[in-house]
Amino acid sequence: MINIDELKKKIIYRSNYRGTKEMDNLLGAFTKKYINNLNENDLLDLEKLLNIDDTNLYNFYNGFKTDFEFENNNINFLYKNFDYTQK
């Protein structure tokens, strides 16, 4: 059995501390917007997304070529279509 609260805490931490400020901001904002509306499977998919390196995440988000095959799931769709503009 998965502890949803612990999983959410882990996801929030990992989305905000990526290594580059740009990806911290992008993934942090994405996670903040969606985390409380995700079901268990979506949370697990988000955790998988956060295991992907920043370069491939950045390229996927911006529609560039990636070295990684992204699954066709709700999280990747939401991430790819997330409207993020830095303030």
Question: Using one digit for the tens of pLDDT, what is the confidence trace for 41-64?
Answer: 999 999 999 999 999 999 999 999
Give the pLDDT of residue 58: 95
Residues 6+ apart with CB under 8 A from 41: none
Give the pLDDT of residue 86: 60
CA 7 to chain centre: 13
Give the pLDDT of residue 42: 98
Spell out, as residue ranges, where the chain has pLDDT lower than 50: none
Q: What is the pTM of this model?
A: 0.93
Give the pLDDT of residue 85: 79
